[in-house]
């Protein structure tokens, strides 16, 4: 067997780089693969896997005791077939297979995979360019949030129509659980996905992510997870809320498998994305970009990646163990056979609370990133902000058990966890104080991104204050399981997280799309959603104080008024979000063309062209100052002026 050992060279940024021989057209088999072939591969392999499993599984006629497991095995086979087939059809395994057979990817192949000269087609392919991946994340996230928002509107419609029932209790419970997990997934990636991928490499002066193919893998795994979650609603749904406590989950309809597979795949996607972002930030910052010169948004994305990398596996492990309990009759969570329900609760909440800060920290980092631009002054204290982020990361893994005060697990641990939970409000408070201090005596250029920051800070303060009550054991004994809790975490996750995402999208929209987001329509959408948000969840606070339980379809008439008001507010939120979405769509298609730096920002991502070239920077930048030195005299300015005066004087003399 002979091996082709010919070596070619390619000039890349002025350097001769050895290349493996090019076999055929650039891109090879990837030229024929896209989202369409992914769907064909996923649906086809899912159908084959389900059919084969149905044949091999004993039927009820031959083994009556085995009959209840037939749909379980078939549905699980369909889900696995879908994921593998979809990723095969997208081309996720082409790179590793080429490496195995000894045909490494050439520079021309890499350029094709990055979407060079492909136009809009690159957004439907397994594209490695971090900017394309950022746009793909944005579209997928908007779809997930739209799906979750639709379920929220159905839930509020049911609760608002107090005189009748629209849905069966089973379907209502399914909507509650699916809405919860879909919104959580969407909020986790709404900033770190689109902005973390599109903006961070440029912000640190890099040409791409550290692992471009893994970057594409992370977003398409997320895409593969979405149909599994949607399918679960047609297979009995999620009956136990988004937390799906065991052993109830093992007794739930077969649709629970869709939830469990969604979490397993999403956790893999998150781990890949976290490692990629962390490696990129640690190793690819521009020359001169020390940690003191690194933008605060980069710190926020890095912190979210750290928390996601260590916390999400707990959730993944819990679902893997729960799946084996159901499918293979293990007993990890079955007390009758030596299992423990406490194991599930601890695994779940070891993710459940860090996940709050995975959503919150990027949102606050976006706010702190754009405030200096619109106030034209440095952050009140950059080091204080960094300390707040570091403090949240350090303490986020020490607060999970405050969700378990009322369960009876380890009562002696309640007060230590109450202390750790109240302690984490200190570094979170640092971030709010930095924001308020930056506003102090600043001259605000009030544009749409800054208006969204106003909303973030307002909602964050309400969410933070009400969270203090829930961290206290005596108060939590009253509020636990009530609508007060629902209102609190919506102020934290949606009030701070989603409005922060709106600020980030409005701010970075010109760089991402080459057009200015319509400020008039966007502002109407923002404030409509904000007003509706206050109406909806302040009314829920009142209902919770009155004692209305959460996740209940039928309730006492004394809660009717609160539910009518909350439902009206929810429809106002929906209208506001649709208006904001229309601003995104219309501006993307026909908005005002943006200049390279419409905000006059000092950070690196605004110093490159718009639309951004494939390689971001023709020459890698060198950083000599902090990114927020607005109003701070340039230490070299006097020297440059002196040189200029000398040259002018010499020219005049001559």
* pLDDT confidence of residue 477: 86
Give the pLDDT band (50/70/90) at residue 4: very low
Q: What pLDDT, in 10s, does the model give residues 357-382?
A: 999 999 999 999 999 999 999 999 99
**139, pLDDT greater than 60:** yes
550-587 burial, b if ≥16 CB within 10 A, otherwise e? bbebebeeebeebbebbbebbbbbbebbebbeebbeeb
The average confidence (pLDDT) of the chain is: 90
Most confident of 116-120, 152-156, 476-480: 152-156
**633, pLDDT greater than 80:** no
How many Cα atoms occupy the beta-carbon half-sphere of 263 within 13 Å?
28
**128, pLDDT greater than 60:** yes
Radius of gyration of the chain (CA): 26
Architecture of domain 128-605: Up-down Bundle (1.20)
* pLDDT confidence of residue 164: 84
**500, pLDDT greater than 60:** yes
* Mean pLDDT value across residues 565-594: 96
State the Cα–Cα distance between residues 534 and 540, nearest whole angstrom. Answer: 10
* Mean pLDDT value across residues 228-239: 91
* pLDDT confidence of residue 551: 85
* Mean pLDDT value across residues 574-601: 95
* pLDDT confidence of residue 641: 52
Give the pLDDT band (50/70/90) at residue 134: very high
Q: Which of 434-448, 545-559, 613-627, 630-644 is least confident? A: 630-644
Q: What DSSP state is assigned to residue 21?
A: P
Give the pLDDT band (50/70/90) at residue 98: confident
Domain segments of the chain as ranges: 128-605
Greater confidence (247 vs 508) lies with: 508
* Mean pLDDT value across residues 543-551: 91
**345, pLDDT greater than 70:** yes
Residue 598 in contact with residue 591, Cβ under 8 Å?
Answer: no
In 3D, which of 332, 306, 308, 309 has the Cα closest to residue 319?
Answer: 332
* pLDDT confidence of residue 69: 65
**481, pLDDT greater than 70:** yes
* pLDDT confidence of residue 3: 41
Kindly state the percentage of the chain with pLDDT values over 70: 92
Give the pLDDT band (50/70/90) at residue 632: low
* Mean pLDDT value across residues 385-408: 92
**645, pLDDT greater than 50:** yes
Q: What pLDDT, in 10s, does the model give residues 46-86?
A: 999 999 998 888 664 455 554 556 788 999 999 999 999 99
3-state secondary structure at position 15: strand
Kindly state the percentage of the chain with pLDDT values over 90: 71
> Is 316 exposed, middle or buried, given 0-12, 13-18 or 19+ CB atoms closer than 10 A?
buried
* pLDDT confidence of residue 648: 53
* pLDDT confidence of residue 95: 87
* pLDDT confidence of residue 367: 96
How many Cα atoms occupy the beta-carbon half-sphere of 125 within 13 Å?
20
**234, pLDDT greater than 50:** yes
State the Cα–Cα distance between residues 195 and 509, nearest whole angstrom. Answer: 10
**161, pLDDT greater than 70:** yes
* Mean pLDDT value across residues 642-650: 55
């Amino acid at each position: 067997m002979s091996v082709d050992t010919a070596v070619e060279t390619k000039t890349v940024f002025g350097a001769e780089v050895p290349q493996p021989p090019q076999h055929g057209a650039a891109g090879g088999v990837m030229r024929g693969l896209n989202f369409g072939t992914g769907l064909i591969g996923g649906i086809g392999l899912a159908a084959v896997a389900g059919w084969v499993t149905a044949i091999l599984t004993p039927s009820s006629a031959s083994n009556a005791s085995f009959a209840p497991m037939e749909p379980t095995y078939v549905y699980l086979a369909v889900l696995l077939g879908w994921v593998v087939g979809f990723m095969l059809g997208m081309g996720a395994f082409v790179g590793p297979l080429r490496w195995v057979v000894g045909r490494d990817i050439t520079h021309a192949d890499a350029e094709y995979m990055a979407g060079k000269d492909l136009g809009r087609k690159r957004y439907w392919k397994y594209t490695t360019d971090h900017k394309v991946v950022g746009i793909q994340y944005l579209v997928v996230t908007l779809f997930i949030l739209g799906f979750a928002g639709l379920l929220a509107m159905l839930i509020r419609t049911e609760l608002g129509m107090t005189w009748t029932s629209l849905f069966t209790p089973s379907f209502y419970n399914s909507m509650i659980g699916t809405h919860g997990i879909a919104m959580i997934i969407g909020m986790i990636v709404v900033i770190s996905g689109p902005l973390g991928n599109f903006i961070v490499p440029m912000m640190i002066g890099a040409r791409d992510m550290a692992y471009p193919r893994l970057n594409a893998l992370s977003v398409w795994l997320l895409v593969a997870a979405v149909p599994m979650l949607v399918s679960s609603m047609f297979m009995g749904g999620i009956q136990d809320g988004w937390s799906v406590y065991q052993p109830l989950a093992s007794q739930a309809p077969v649709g629970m498998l869709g939830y469990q597979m969604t979490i397993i795949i999403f956790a893999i996607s998150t781990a890949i994305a976290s490692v990629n972002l962390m490696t990129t930030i640690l190793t690819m910052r521009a020359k001169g970009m020390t940690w003191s010169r690194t933008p605060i948004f980069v710190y926020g994305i890095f912190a979210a990646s750290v928390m996601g990398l260590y916390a999400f596996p707990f959730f993944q492990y819990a679902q893997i163990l729960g799946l084996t309990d159901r499918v293979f009759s293990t007993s990890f969570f079955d007390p009758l056979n030596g299992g423990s329900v406490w194991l599930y609760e601890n695994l779940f909440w070891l993710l459940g609370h860090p996940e709050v800060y995975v959503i919150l920290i990027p949102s606050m980092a976006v706010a702190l990133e754009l405030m200096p631009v619109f106030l034209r002054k440095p952050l009140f204290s950059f080091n204080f902000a960094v300390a707040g982020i570091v403090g949240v990361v350090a303490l986020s893994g020490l607060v999970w058990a405050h969700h378990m005060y009322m369960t009876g697990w380890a009562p002696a641990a309640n007060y230590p966890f109450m202390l750790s939970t109240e302690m984490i409000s200190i570094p979170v408070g640092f971030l709010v104080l930095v924001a308020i201090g930056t506003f102090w005596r600043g001259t605000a250029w009030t544009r749409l991104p800054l208006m969204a920051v106003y909303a973030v800070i307002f909602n964050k303060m309400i969410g933070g204050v009400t969270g203090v009550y829930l961290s206290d054991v005596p108060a939590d004994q009253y509020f636990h399981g009530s609508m007060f809790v629902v209102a609190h975490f919506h102020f934290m996750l949606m009030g701070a997280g989603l409005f922060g995402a709106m600020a980030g999208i409005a701010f970075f929209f010109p760089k991402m799309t080459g057009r200015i987001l319509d400020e008039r329509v966007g502002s109407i959408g923002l404030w409509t959603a904000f007003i509706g948000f206050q109406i909806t969840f302040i009314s829920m606070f009142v209902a919770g104080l009155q004692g209305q339980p959460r996740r209940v379809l039928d309730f006492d008439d004394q809660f009717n008024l609160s539910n009518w008001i909350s439902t009206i507010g929810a429809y106002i939120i929906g209208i506001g979000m649709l208006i904001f979405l229309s601003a995104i769509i219309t501006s993307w298609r026909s908005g005002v063309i943006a200049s390279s730096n419409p905000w006059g920002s000092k950070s690196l991502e605004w110093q490159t062209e718009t639309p951004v070239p494939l390689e971001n920077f023709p020459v890698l930048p060198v950083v000599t100052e902090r990114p927020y030195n607005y109003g701070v005299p340039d230490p070299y300015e006097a020297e440059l002026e002196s040189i200029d005066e000398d040259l002018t004087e010499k020219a005049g003399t001559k």
